[in-house]
Structure 1
Amino acid sequence: MDQNHIYSRLGVHPFINAADSYTTIGGSRMPPEIIEAMRQAAEHFVELDDLHDRIGERIAALTRNEAAMVTSGAAAGLAIAVAACIAGDDPVKRRAFPRLNGLRNEVILHRCQRNGFDRAVAQLGVTFAEVGGDAGTSVCDLEEAIGPRTACILYFDTSAFIRGALPLAEVIRIGRLHGIPVIVDAAAQLPPVDNLWNYTQQGADLVIFSGGKTLQGPQSSGLIVGRRELVRMCRMQAGPASDTVGRPMKVGREEMAGLLAAIERYLMQDHEALRCRHERVVETFCRELASLGYKGVREYPGPTGQDYAYAMFDMRGASRTAETIMRLMKDGDPAVLIGLARDGTDQFFLNPLHVKDEEIPLIIERFKALG
C-alpha cells in the first residue's frame, strides 16, 4: 500500500475480506459512483428536510414501496421505527422519550429473537413483552401478549433468530387482525433483490435494511420502507430537528446521496450473473483448498439466510483449529479475514460476497503458505 495512504500514515493494516459484511470491519466497499454521489452532495448546502423527502420519494419508487427514508444505519432504523409506533405524530409524545409512563410502550418480541440489536430499541424506554420459549412459539402466545399498551411487534428475519419463532406471515396476519404494526429487521437480507419489496407486499408495516452491507452504500446508512403514514411518522423522529429522540441519529446529506446511488446501482445489476459468479468463486475455493487437505463443502443459503452460496471448511479432528487458521490468515501478508461458523463448531468459511477476482489467488496462496 502507498505510504501516503491514510491507513499507512495511521499505522492501520487493511485486509482482504473473505468473511462477511461485518459492521466491525466497515461493512462493504463503496464503488466509485457511490463515492462520487457523496462528493457531489458535500459540495453544496441544502435544506436537509427537503433532501430527505426527495430521496425518500425516489427510493420508494425504485423499491416499489409506498414510502421510504434513509437512516444512520439499520440499528437507528429500529429505534426510529419503534419510536414512530409509540408517538405517532403527537408532538408531546415525541418529546416523552425515554419516560413513557401512560403511553403504549410495549414492544412484542420472540424470546428466541432477543439479541444485541434490540438494545437500540431498549434505549427508548420501552418494555419488551417476550413470547415463546425453548419449545417454540404458538399463535396463542402471541395473541395473549397483545394488549392496550402494545405499540408494535418486532421481528428479526435472519436465520440466526427464526428457529422457534412463528413464521413471519403468521405474525403479520395476527398483527393485522389486532391493528398492531409489524416491524421487520431485514438488515442483512439482500440478496435476493426483491426482498426490498417482498416484505411490504406480504403485509409488513415497516422494514429495515442496512445500507452498508450488500447494497455497498455508506456504512453509516440504513433504509426504512413501508406504509406511507408510518414512514411519515418516522421522519418526524429523525429529521434534523433538535427536539426528538432521533436527533443523535440524524443523517448527513452525503449518506443520503450515497445510499440513493447505491440502491440505483444495486437494482441495475445482473443478479443472476452475480449469483453465478459467487458459485464459481465457492467452487474454486473448495477445489483449491481440497488440494491442500481441507475438507470443504458448498453451503446455501448465505450466513444469515441470503440468496447466495459460500464455502465451509471443517477442522474437527485436524491439527489446527478453525480459530487458529483465522488468526494465522489475518496475521499474514496480505492479511485475509475468514469467518468462523456461527454455531460455534470448529469450522471456518470463505464468503465470495466482497472478494475481488484478483484477490482469489492471493487468498489461495496464503493458505498454501500456512503449510
Structure 2
Amino acid sequence: MSALAGLGLAPVINAAGTVTRLSGGILAPEVVAAMAEASAACFDMLDLQAAASRAIVAATGAEAGIVTGGASAALLLGAAACLVGLDPAAMDALPRDAARREVIVARSQRTMYDRAVEVAGGRLVEVGIPDRFSGAGVRDATAAEMAAAIGPATAAILWVAQPWSEPPLEELCRVAQAAGVPVLVDAAAQLPPLANLRGFLDAGADLVAFSGGKAIGGPQASGILAGRRKLVASALLQMLDLDLPAAQFRLPPEFAGNRALPFLPRHGIGRSCKAGKEEIVGLLVALQRFQAEGDAPRQARMRARLAAVQQAMGQPPGVAVEIAEGPTPLLLLRCADAAAARAAEAALRARRPAVHVNQGRLREGVLVVHPAALAEADLPALGAALAAVLGSDTVLPFASAAKAG
C-alpha cells in the first residue's frame, strides 16, 4: 500500500496553478533527489543559509538573500527587518513596540497577504484613491502622495508587484530613497518572466519576496527574501534558532561579516518562518533549473501541455476555446455566461478524481486551465473531464441546443 493510500488520500487534478490550497506544483526529480540527499545529513543552518545567499545573489543581483518558509514568511521577515534593523533590543520588543512601525501602501494594493506585515508589528497606512478599480475615474496613488505620507514613524513602503501597480516602482523608489525609507516588494507570484528575479531590485527596491513553490518549482513551503545585506541579516536573525552561547555566534560574511551585535537577541518574531535543510537545498536546485531553462522553452513546455488537454477535450458545444499567450500560457474556456461557468466548475470539483480549474475569471464566464501544476499523466484525464462536463446537458442545459444548432 502506498503512503497516500494509507492516509486515505486521493490526488486531485490541479489545473488551477501552483496555488497553496491545492498543495502547489509537482517537484522535478532532481529537486526531490536533492531534498532526499539533504535529509540524510545535518548542517549548521548558518552555513546552509550562507550557501543559499550566494546562490540567491548570483540569481538576483541582490547584496544578500535567505530561504524562508514561503513568500508570506519572507514578507513577514522583510517587514520585521525594516521595523528594527540590526537592533537586538528592538527585535526583542516586536510585535508590541517599535519606534517606527508605519508601513505605507497604496490603497489599491491591499491584499489578504499584507497581514504578514501586521503580524511582524507593522501598521499599514493606506494612500491614494483607486478610482480606476472602482470605476469612478482614472486616478490611483502617486509617488508624490506616497512621499507626503512619509513621517517620523515610517518604517517602510510596501509595493505589491503587478504589471498594473501604481505608482511605478522606479518612481516610488526614488522618493523613498530620498527620504531614507526602504521599499519592500511582494513579488510572490511574479515569476516568470525570468527577468523579474533582478528587475525589482534593479528598479531600486530594498527587499523583494518571492515564492519558491510556484514557477521556480521548489518545495511549496519555501520562499526567497533578497535585497540589502543589513536588512537580510536582520531578517535572518529574527528567524534563526539562537539557543546557543552568545560568544559562539557570528554572522557569516555573506550577511554582515563578523559584525558584533551588542547582544544576541531572543528567538525572533519570525522564528516560525524557518525553512528546513530539505526546503533550502530543494529550492536552490529548483532555482538553478528555472534559470537554466529560460522563458521561451518553459512557455513552449506549458503550451504543449495545454495543446494536449485541448486535443483530448475536443470542441465542447457552446464553448469558445483559446490559448492565451503570456509569461505562462493559459487555456481559456468561455462559457455562455457566469452561471454556466460556475456550474461547470462545481461539476468538475465533484468528479473523482476532483478537477480544479482556476476560478479567477468565473465572473466573466471563463474557466481557466493553468498548466504549471499538471502532471503529464493528468493531461488526457483532464481533457476527458472537461469534455464530459462542458458537453453535459445536465450540467449545462444550453449544450443540447448548441449541439442541435
Q: Is the contact made by 2:75 and 2:117 (CA closer than 8 Å) also made in structure 1?
A: yes
Whether 1:183 and 2:180 are equivalent positions in the alignment is: no
Partner residue in 2 for 1:6:
3
Q: Distance in 2 between matches of 1:288 and 1:47?
A: 50
Partner residue in 2 for 1:104:
100
Partner residue in 1 for 2:384:
365
Partner residue in 2 for 1:340:
359
Using the TM superposition, give the Cα deviation of residue 285 of structure 1 relative to its aligned residue in structure 2, in angstroms.
Answer: 4.8
Q: Distance in 2 between matches of 1:39 and 1:203?
A: 37
Partner residue in 2 for 1:299:
324
Partner residue in 2 for 1:309:
329
Q: TM-score, normalised by structure 1?
A: 0.90
Q: Is the contact made by 1:100 and 1:126 (CA closer than 8 Å) also made in structure 2?
A: no
Using the TM superposition, give the Cα deviation of residue 34 of structure 1 relative to its aligned residue in structure 2, in angstroms.
Answer: 1.2
RMSD: 2.1
Using the TM superposition, give the Cα deviation of residue 147 of structure 1 relative to its aligned residue in structure 2, in angstroms.
Answer: 0.7
Cα distance per residue 1:143-171 (max 9 Å; x no partner)? 11111111111111135xx45x3122221
Cα distance per residue 1:2-54 (max 9 Å; x no partner)? xx222222222211211111100111111121122111212122211221112
Q: Is the contact made by 1:285 and 1:350 (CA closer than 8 Å) also made in structure 2?
A: no
Partner residue in 2 for 1:227:
228
Moved more, 207-216 or 10-19: 10-19
Secondary structure class of the residue paired with 1:352? coil
- The letter of the residue matching 2:368 is F
- The letter of the residue matching 1:111 is R
Moved more, 116-125 or 60-69: 60-69
Q: Distance in 1 between matches of 2:362 and 2:60?
A: 34
Cα distance per residue 1:171-190 (max 9 Å; x no partner)? 11221221111111111111
Partner residue in 2 for 1:273:
297
Q: Distance in 1 between matches of 2:289 and 2:130?
A: 42
Moved more, 275-284 or 219-228: 275-284
Q: Distance in 2 between matches of 1:287 and 1:158?
A: 32
Partner residue in 2 for 1:127:
123
Using the TM superposition, give the Cα deviation of residue 65 of structure 1 relative to its aligned residue in structure 2, in angstroms.
Answer: 2.5
Partner residue in 2 for 1:237:
238
Question: Compared with structure 1, are the counterparts of its residues 114 and 44 closer, same or farther at alpha carbon in structure 2 (3 Å cutoff)?
Answer: same
Q: Is the contact made by 1:172 and 1:204 (CA closer than 8 Å) also made in structure 2?
A: yes
Q: Is the contact made by 1:49 and 1:240 (CA closer than 8 Å) also made in structure 2?
A: no
- The letter of the residue matching 2:359 is L
Q: Is the contact made by 1:286 and 1:297 (CA closer than 8 Å) also made in structure 2?
A: no
Using the TM superposition, give the Cα deviation of residue 345 of structure 1 relative to its aligned residue in structure 2, in angstroms.
Answer: 2.7
Whether 1:192 and 2:193 are equivalent positions in the alignment is: yes
Cα distance per residue 1:195-238 (max 9 Å; x no partner)? 11111112111111001111111111100111222212221222
- Structure 2, gaps ≥5 residues long: 132-139, 243-265, 393-405
Q: Is the contact made by 1:290 and 1:296 (CA closer than 8 Å) also made in structure 2?
A: no
Whether 1:114 and 2:115 are equivalent positions in the alignment is: no
- Structure 1, gaps ≥5 residues long: 302-306
Q: Distance in 2 between matches of 1:62 and 1:111?
A: 31
- The letter of the residue matching 2:105 is L
Partner residue in 1 for 2:246:
none
Using the TM superposition, give the Cα deviation of residue 334 of structure 1 relative to its aligned residue in structure 2, in angstroms.
Answer: 3.8
- The letter of the residue matching 2:223 is G
Q: Is the contact made by 2:312 and 2:384 (CA closer than 8 Å) also made in structure 1?
A: no
Which residue, out of 247, 266, 271, partners 2:271? 247
